[in-house]
Chains A and B, each alone.
Chain A
Amino acid sequence: MTWSAAARGLHQPDNTAFTQQRLPAWQPLLSAGIALPLFFCAGLAFLGLGLGLYYSSNAIQELEHDYTGDAGAGSCAACAAQGQGRAPPPPCSCAWHFTLPELFPGPVYLYYELTGFYQNNRRYGVSRDDAQLSGLPGALRRPANECAPYQFSGGLPVAPCGAVANSLFNDTFSLWHQRRPGAPYVEVPLDRAAIAWWTDYHVKFRNPPLVNGSLALAFRGTAPPPNWRRPVYELSPDPNNTGFVNQDFVVWMRTAALPTFRKLYARIRQGNYSAGLPSGAYRVDIAYNYPVRAFGGHKLLVFSNISWMGGKNPFLGIAYLVVGSLCIVVGFVMLAVYIRFQDQDDDDNDDE
């Protein structure tokens, strides 16, 4: 080349690796040495993971009961019929009886499950005011426009505003255990604290500043959502569990991804039940308030224990098993193709 550092022209470009496009680079080729081991290793790893996931999912016990009360099934049918076509439906209670032949290992989680409920509908999902829920006094009095039509009620700002809050799930459950037939039912303690995310309970949801030490005064001049029977500051007698930081409320406000979803109601881990639910007969008393039949939804109660991977869901395990075996099959196909065409390639080289 003619250029040199000594006699450098005025317009001579720089001789650097970047300007001359000579940056040191790794030029990976998808060679058999990389692709085949990748597939075999990935296949084996996925098979292992799949087996692990599958067995842990299978080890999880679940007990679920649909208490919607469709077509006269169960004692909740009466409630369902009673609430038909009335909004808000009148309070009603019913019960679900079940028997555990053996210990249901703990810790046991109690969920309620709704189906056909589109919490992920956009119109529904945006109908909330996070500023209000984070306790900003200004936002309390002036809810966001997204909350309409649950923004103002009778001229008063709605707190908490919006459709999500208005549709708060308001069925309540209590669990009773009968150790021996004929023995009295004993209430099983339900741990209803800390059922929401720590960040939700401590950061995202905050009560407005107390006025004279009273939450009620803080909420004065606001109206509860139309469907609520109680104002928000009376959701629970526990001062740490009322207002916007009521755990049930917080759980509800974390909207679900899919129209069928479960939400945590309580943990059972106290007293005699820390090891799980012992065998015996059980009764769940249900305060049946929440109407779902109008839109064809269902309400379920679920007892479940969990493993390292969470709740019961065989999908991921099976998916891993399928993908893992496919990887190995494809790996063999690639190996076969490689061996078949490798020879041809060498012939080409000889021709050159």
Chain B
Amino acid sequence: MAWVTVGHGTQRFLQAIPQISTLAWYTTLVPLLLVLGITAIKDLVDDVARHKMDKEINNRTCDVIKDGRFKITKWKDIQVGDVIRLKKNDFVPADILLLSSSEPNSLCYVETAELDGETNLKFKMALEITDQYLQREDTLATFDGFIECEEPNNRLDKFTGTLFWRNRSFPLDADKILLRGCVIRNTHICHGLVIFAGADTKIMKNSGKTRFKRTKIDYLMNYMVYTIFVVLILLSAGLAIGHAYWEAQVGNSSWYLYDGENATPSYRGFLNFWGYLIVLNTMVPISLYVSVEIIRLGQSHFINWDLQMYYSEKDTPAKARTTTLNEQLGQIHYIFSDKTGTLTQNIMTFKKCCINGQIYGDHRDASQHSHSKIEQVDFSWNTFADGKFAFYDHYLIEKIQSGKEPEIRHFFFLLAVCHTVMVDRTDGPINYQAASPDEGALVTAARNFGFAFLARTQNTITISELGTERTYKVLAILDFNSDRKRMSIIVRTPEGSIRLYCKGADTVIYERLHRMNPTKQETQDALDIFASETLRTLCLCYKEIEEKEFAEWNKKFTAASVASTNRDEALDKVYEEIEKDLILLGATAIEDKLQDGVPETISKLARADIKIWVLTGDKKETAENIGFACELLTEDTTVCYGEDINSLLHTRMENQRNRGGVYAKFAPVVHEPFFPPGENRALIITGSWLNEILLEKKTKKSNILKLKFPRTEEERRMRTQSKRRLEAKKEQRQKNFVDLACECSAVICCRVTPKQKAMVVDLVKRYKKAITLAIGDGANDVNMIKTAHIGVGISGQEGMQAVMSSDYSFAQFRYLQRLLLVHGRWSYIRMCKFLRYFFYKNFAFTLVHFWYSFFNGYSAQTAYEDWFITLYNVLYSSLPVLLMGLLDQDVSDKLSLRFPGLYVVGQRDLLFNYKRFFVSLLHGVLTSMVLFFIPLGAYLQTVGQDGEAPSDYQSFAVTVASALVITVNFQIGLDTSYWTFVNAFSIFGSIALYFGIMFDFHSAGIHVLFPSAFQFTGTASNALRQPYIWLTIILTVAVCLLPVVAIRFLSMTIWPSESDKIQKHRKRLKAEEQWQRRQNVFRRGASSRRSAYAFSHQRGYADLISSGRSIRRKRAPLDAIIADEGIAEPGAAEYRRKVES
């Protein structure tokens, strides 16, 4: 709005020049001051709020060594090189090098939910030497190491540096770095050295630029204001020419107009150009911007106040953190959603199991009868039981306790022994630290069923088996990785026999089963059932190993584990040898709990023609499983994978190249779909595939080219040309991908980094020109949230990063439907109606001057009193439209949610676009014509009722102004579809206010006080007591409004819009709704065969467990998640879902 202010400032300046000051000084100054004042107040309030937020974070404290002692220091005072102390559950304030920790092995556990959205713990390990010597305050205070490290960058998974201390150098890697945003867990105290602070921290570097977001309507509005400016200049120029001509023809010979200045007609015309700029400036709506701000602010408050977006469990209301984007919420085309924490709760619960072919976990009592309602299983007999665990199958407990079926006990024993969970019993109850929530859920389940994992050492594991503690010797842990999709453990029982226990994905386990497995088919059926309930499944199996066989294998294992090259491959091969001829025990089913109402929300949004893309760092199977669980994918969806569409994209590229080379984009756009229409299709791709297809692959050739220095002009041109060609090709490829992806109803991108998330959003933004919304909860979503047109953060969790950079935040994914379908839609409709009316009302108001100029020699005479011009936009016509912009609703929130199809008006820009804009302007122009020409006709010859002062200028001005005020206020009445008492009050109040103020300004008293400022003395009372003038006003208003009524009625009858129809049947729908509420609709789960397995996609703690601290080589968990293994190992075979026939 700055330039509008400047424009009006200029106008104020123009008005100060006497020759061209066509309006009194107050006419634009008063509105301008009002506008500036309101804007200033709003900005002030915003700034204060932002400062408060910043202050809160800046003033968090932690312990920093200062002058040899730890002192409580504010975060904002932490500097690079400070040694700080962090306690359990502290947020890490900067990127720090871990020096020492209170835990054994110099371990420090961190939760990285802020960074990657995963709540499972990762461990960090300090250098041995620092851990050894830097435990006490005094030694820390005298620590004089020197660190050389990389420049600040945004790679969360990489760090390179060297510590020089005590004349030795130690290499540093990401394993030893605690990143800002992590939370210290399960570690009493740890010490660290600040390496990057503030904006240099990796998380800040990763968060992308904060973009100043503006809405589509903002841009449109600006262009429209430019258009109006052009119209204003053209009109003024035209009238100025008219004036010059009139001066030459008439004015110069009119002796009564002599003004002592012998100006030429053309100079007078020139002066009048500026004069008309001032008179017609009300066409450019000065109060538009501030009114828009007020409306958006109000709508933001309605979002904040909405109880149906308030999450009472966490006492979190929805919050519109940006107040300028509301109407864009009604125009969303694409939603990009994070998975963990957004769609799901990131809580894994052990739901069901299949043991020996028998399924357990349904609601049943001990005698195998199923009940629809039965209380939870009572675990009080078990001292180790976790109170939060809920299970409903009493029959299973019965069986465990009776011990009739040994497989059942075996099953839970396996769960208790085969894992890489760490246990923490320091403070009372057992506390498990699992690398993945799935594993935690399984071990917790085993614990509740009587097989509690109690302790582990480097090579033993202690289990409480239904009360009896037994310790097993762990011979080997065959750890999980994403290729193996299974983990095994080899233990020696106290009795001396050796057993291998294995759990893993059904596909890999079934390949390795012994041929003689009686329950194979039953378990398979159970897996199918579990999958159809979108549970994550794992198969459990075991085998006995002969002493001799093990000894033989162990030799190979030892050899492989010390191999210097290709150790992983060698190990995998060795593992493969022993993991065969397994005996199936059963399967587990874990529920990755969706948030409440996710499937309903997604189906609603889909019906509103919104496409949903899930972007997750998780692996493909999990993502796909969730896709089915939240009904993004259904039984009749054809799922395409990245590899499937490679060829499609390739062919398309070929075709395009053949057609017009890289310049194909200049050729007329031919829209040819990639897929045959009419099929429901979904696309699942991975981050690595994305990288491959979208980013330039650096070929050797180009590398060489780069190395060479361009010698000649020719060469340089060649190079830039080839670069440009490459760029165009890349662009084409990206565009093709986006086109293809957008043909699918759902897209799931798995294993994507924060950067890639943002990139995907950006691609759609760029090539589809559609409005995008990104929703996420973790720091890994920050970039995408900032990139999308609208970012939504899930609040109420510990991490605040996503919320801080979001535009809207609320606690549950399901509130998204209300935010978009109700608030967004309403905001859009309100804003559009508001803008249309605003342009209309200013045109109707201003162009009367234009018509009048034909009758006054184009002399920039105004058709109204100056005071009326001053107050029209401020008092007489502003409140009703503001209230409509705040309160209007065409259909209620319930109906908006029930008919998501209503949402498409915003997506298609149906309510406000250039056509609508010009229609509004035309409406304004026609209204102004009626407003001028009917009074003109009435005033052509008229004589007052008593013959006095016929057809004087002031009465004419009052007549036109009265007709105008009544017309525009009645017009807003017609536009208002939701008449509350405030609306009614404001509409009639505005008219009353107009008459009240006019009679005051035209009164004798005010004239006596300010004779020069109030010149219309007596006009209102003299003019408005004449029935003839009232008849004129009535006719004018009627001619302005009746056609509008007729056109609305006809268009509503002939082409009713969706919302018209719904409004028409409002009553019936309401009755229906009440009736429906009584019927509970059950949702049937999709029934399809899906396999998923319950592991985190990173390696567990096996290395750590089995090796103590002697083995240094291990993979950092953070690295694994954020670096996306796909990128690191692009060749890694993707696990492909077997499509069962």
Contacts and interface: CB of A to CB of B under 8 A. Distances in A.
A241 interface: no
Contact of A262 (B934, B950, B977, B1056): B950
A53 B1027 CA distance: 11
Given A118-B254, A199-B1004, A309-B1031, A29 B953 contact: no
B856 A118 contact: yes
Contacts of B980: 23-25
Interface string B235-262: 0000000000000001101111111110
Contacts of A294: 253-255
B1011 A131 contact: yes
A260 B951 CA distance: 10
A7 B310 CA distance: 14
A342 B18 CA distance: 62
Contacts of A7: 312
A3 B978 contact: no
A258 B939 contact: yes
A257 B952 CA distance: 5
B308 interface: yes
Contact of A27 (B260, B861, B1048, B1066): B1066
A145 interface: yes
A114 to B, nearest CB: 10
A127 B259 contact: yes
A254 B952 contact: yes
A13 B859 CA distance: 57
A212 interface: no
A39 B1042 CA distance: 8
Interface in A174-196: 195-196
B1072 to A, nearest CB: 10
Interface in B916-963: 934, 936-957
Interface stretch (A96-104, A228-236, A316-324): A316-324
A136 B1045 contact: no
A272 interface: no
A226 to B, nearest CB: 10
Determine which residue in A13, A32, A260 has the highest number of CB atoms from chain B within 10 A of its CB, and name it: A13
Determine which residue in A1, A38, A257, A330 has the highest number of CB atoms from chain B within 10 A of its CB, and name it: A257
Contacts of A125: 861, 953
B1045 A13 contact: no
A259 B948 contact: no
Contact of A256 (B313, B951, B1008): B951
B1049 interface: yes
Contact of A341 (B938, B1038, B1054): B1054
B302 A21 contact: yes
A161 to B, nearest CB: 13
A294 B1016 CA distance: 31
Contacts of A327: 1042
Given A323-B1035, A348-B1061, A338 B1053 contact: yes
Interface string B1031-1068: 11001001100100110111011101000010111100
A246 interface: no
Contacts of A120: 855-856, 859, 861, 953
A122 interface: yes
A306 B947 CA distance: 7
Nearest to A318: B937
Contacts of A237: none
B914 interface: no
B642 interface: no
Nearest to B937: A315
B interface, size bucket: 35 or more
Given A199-B1017, A254-B952, A121 B947 contact: no
B22 interface: yes
A295 to B, nearest CB: 4
Contacts of A127: 259
B1042 A259 contact: no
Interface string B1003-1034: 01001100110010110011000111001100
Contact of A119 (B938, B940, B953, B1066): B953
Contact of A9 (B315, B944, B1007, B1064): B315
B18 A145 contact: yes
B253 A295 contact: yes
B306 A20 contact: yes
B875 to A, nearest CB: 23
B257 A121 contact: yes
Nearest to A125: B861
A131 to B, nearest CB: 4
Contacts of B254: 117-118, 294-295
Contacts of A111: 943, 950
A46 B260 CA distance: 51
Contacts of B306: 13, 19-21
B1063 A311 contact: no
A310 interface: yes
A248 interface: no
A310 B255 contact: no
B226 interface: no
Interface string B284-327: 00000000000000000010111110101101110000000000
Contacts of A306: 943, 945-947
B819 interface: no
Interface residues of A, number: 109
Nearest to B960: A257
A5 interface: no
Interface in B1050-1105: 1050, 1052-1054, 1056, 1061, 1063-1066
Interface string A293-321: 01110000000101011111101100110
Nearest to B1063: A29
A148 interface: yes
Contact of B860 (A1, A122, A163): A122
B675 interface: no
A122 B856 contact: yes
Contacts of B945: 306, 308-310
A123 B939 CA distance: 22
A27 B978 contact: yes
Given A197-B1022, A295-B254, A313 B861 contact: no
Contacts of A149: 258-261
A251 interface: yes
A18 to B, nearest CB: 8
A264 B949 contact: yes
Nearest to B254: A295
A23 B256 contact: no
Contacts of B983: 25
B1027 A117 contact: no
A255 interface: yes
A26 B1018 CA distance: 39
A261 interface: yes
Contacts of A39: 1042, 1045-1046
Interface string B16-28: 0010001000000
B762 to A, nearest CB: 34
A257 B953 contact: yes
Given A53-B1031, A148-B259, A262 B315 contact: no
Contacts of A203: 1004, 1007-1008, 1017-1018
Given A9-B315, A20-B305, A258 B1049 contact: no
A121 B530 CA distance: 88
A291 B256 CA distance: 10
A206 to B, nearest CB: 9
Given A30-B1048, A262-B951, 6 more contacts: A11-B317, A38-B1045, A117-B256, A163-B259, A256-B953, A342-B1053
25 contacts: A13-B310, A14-B305, A19-B305, A20-B305, A20-B308, A26-B979, A27-B1066, A28-B977, A32-B1053, A42-B1042, A111-B950, A116-B250, A122-B861, A123-B859, A199-B1004, A200-B1017, A256-B951, A257-B957, A261-B950, A267-B947, A308-B945, A309-B945, A310-B943, A313-B938, A338-B1053
A-B pairs, top 6 by smallest CB distance, nearest first, are: A199-B1018, A311-B943, A149-B260, A9-B315, A257-B956, A19-B305
